[in-house]
Amino acid sequence: MPTISPATPADAEFFQQNGYIRYEHFFSAEEIASLRHAIDHAIDTHRARIRGAEKDGRVSEEYERVFNQMVNLWTDYPAAKEVAFHPRLAETARRLSGCRHVRIYHDHAMIKPPGQTSKETNWHQDAPYWPMDPVGALSAWIAVDDVTADNGCLHFVPGSHQYERLEPIKLGVAGESIVAKMKERGYDVPEPVTMDMPAGGVTFHHGCTFHYAGPNQTAAPRRAFAIIYMPDYTTFTGTHDAAGAADEMKAGGPWDHSLHPILAGD
């Protein structure tokens, strides 16, 4: 029986043209409640950002003010794996990217702290931080809480993925912005769109799409959970760690590893 996905051919065309798409009410309240409980437990137990990494993969206190990020929760929490490996989510990613199959790169919980110390997530692309070639990976970003401009929802620049992969931006550093850099170079960057959503909503965005999240100006943490999907043609560049699998893969080779299974397609 085929996996049910909300992605239509028109959705795939929209995604290819704009680099993002939004699906509200993708997950039920029950599914999100289980995921929220898993994320809260990971926060309460001070789970490492990246297990096995030096200093647990924590970069700096400034970066933590952007968000507390924890990678590969699916390896620890069944509720996180149920969402990260959800066939409907993966099939939607496959249809939007127009490929034969998709593998998981990693999941990551992103908790934006509340209050005056919260910092914006600078305008950036994801692809410069990923050890992949060619660029084609995309992310599903799940609202674990209701997300608004006040607590740090995403904003996308439509069509910005067509600039392809640019230089990385220093997240957490004031003034760093891929949008500002492109405007300085004379590009007419389109106005962004705001992705406010109820809990359970999902956006998908291409790895080269410019995106941003403001500081969390509310009194409660803003919890989100993202899954990065790699199309079948993606190879490992060897330039960064591969979410725990770099030592076991060859640069220029495929992502054939137990940490990166195929989740949709053949």
pLDDT in tens, 196-207: 999 999 999 999
Domains of the chain, CATH where assigned:
18-265 (2.60.120.620)
Nearest Cα to 25, choosing from 153, 258, 202?
Answer: 202
Beta bridge partners of residue 156, listed in sequence order: 193, 211
Question: According to the model, what pLDDT value does residue 119 have?
Answer: 86
Question: According to the model, what pLDDT value does residue 254 have?
Answer: 86
pLDDT bracket for residue 56 (50, 70, 90): very low
Backbone dihedral angles phi then psi of residue 58, each to the nearest 5 degrees: -80, 125
d(CA 49, CA 82): 20
Mean pLDDT of 18-33: 96
Tell if the pTM clears 0.75, that is, is over it.
yes
Question: According to the model, what pLDDT value does residue 68 have?
Answer: 79
Of 72-81, 152-161, 225-234, 245-254, which gets the smallest average pLDDT? 245-254
Structure tokens at 134: 């060619």
Q: Does the pLDDT at position 224 exceed 80?
A: yes
Question: According to the model, what pLDDT value does residue 2 have?
Answer: 46
Contact between 203 and 154 under an 8 Å Cβ cutoff? The reply is yes
Question: According to the model, what pLDDT value does residue 239 have?
Answer: 75
Which single residue is written with the structure tokens 């790895």?
Answer: 207
Contact between 252 and 59 under an 8 Å Cβ cutoff? The reply is no
pLDDT in tens, 240-260: 666 666 677 888 888 888 899
Residue 184: partners with Cβ closer than 8 Å, 6 or more residues away: none
pLDDT in tens, 155-205: 999 999 999 999 999 887 888 999 999 999 999 999 999 999 999 999 999
Contact between 73 and 42 under an 8 Å Cβ cutoff? The reply is yes
Question: According to the model, what pLDDT value does residue 1 have?
Answer: 36
Question: According to the model, what pLDDT value does residue 54 have?
Answer: 59
